[in-house]
Structure 1
């Protein structure tokens, strides 16, 4: 019987350390998904998919909160039922072990709240983009003072590509020359 930890964060600049710290204890195995949205079905995430291949009857899966399993209420409920059917105990911080009946009801309510929050996040992002577009159109700058909606321009793409070609430089060296990432150099030179 293994104690298994699953942690997930939506963006690469977030850290799973806060979840690990809050859950404490020792675990036999740990699975994580970093930079993976909760909108992606749990079984389609690399870390969770690996977890499903590992976990066995009698194991305990420990998670920080229900929304770490996902932000789609139906997917979360189906995954919880699948885990329970496999004989896995689901231990959620602050709730304890989830079982049949009342435990599934609590999961359903929490999963619906996670789904609702995901919809609110989408609405807030779209609202912010609409304000930025309107401000950009009216003033030439977004409401936050940026010159575009996308990522800021690090360097002139044509200048970067021309310098690289003229000097026969590698992507790495070109990035160092202009103070930009290798990915940005590759994107500028491919254009």
Structure 2
């Protein structure tokens, strides 16, 4: 008996797989996901995908939202899909349909290369933006976008948050509520003090 299986991946914990799930239409027998897992990690090393690999069988169809969900780079994507195809699994990519041997693998190789190039371009633009911000900050005291620092702006004065928590013997969540910040921010402030 064949199964319809979906796989989703988002890079950060504050992102949701809901958009991918909605685009794929649902009705799956099994769903696997990796939330907060970087695209720079090999597919087989991602916990959700590794679990999927232990459960997927010949005759199953794997549905994914985009080519880049299947691997770290073009080579990883191609080897992942090839291994699935050799196992007798149909790989269906949203908007492309099923990927088969021969022409399907060729199309996949091109798309994987495009995704790889785009990932490199994004990194280059990000690195250039950081360099411009550092240079502007060093010469003018503000980044090229007018900010006073390179990092995220402080939600509250860290020393004040830590001192209040200590003075009141407050928990992390109580401190977060008092200052209107997230528990993660309170933890970060406490760790830095």
- Give yes or no for TM over 0.5: yes
Partner of residue 73, structure 2: 72
1:111-126, aligned counterparts within 5 Å?
A: 111-126=112-127
Deviates further, 87-96 or 112-121: 87-96
Q: Secondary structure at the match of 1:30?
A: strand
CA distance 1:25–1:182, shift in 2 (3 Å): closer
1:30-49, aligned counterparts within 5 Å?
A: 30-49=31-50
Partner of residue 156, structure 1: 157
* TM superposition shift of 1:180: 1.8
Residues in 1 aligned to 2:165 and 2:175: alpha-carbon distance in whole angstroms: 6
Partner of residue 2, structure 1: 3
* TM superposition shift of 1:25: 4.7
1:90 aligns with 2:60: no
Residues in 2 aligned to 1:170 and 1:21: alpha-carbon distance in whole angstroms: 38
Contact 1:71 1:111 in 2 (8 A): no
Residues in 2 aligned to 1:187 and 1:23: alpha-carbon distance in whole angstroms: 37
Give aligned pairs, total.
191
Alignment RMSD (CA, Å): 1.6
Deviates further, 7-16 or 64-73: 7-16
TM-score normalised by L of structure 2: 0.91
Q: Secondary structure at the match of 2:153?
A: coil
Show CA shifts across 1:66-94 (max 9, x none): 11213401111110111011111111122
1:99-118, aligned counterparts within 5 Å?
A: 99-118=100-119
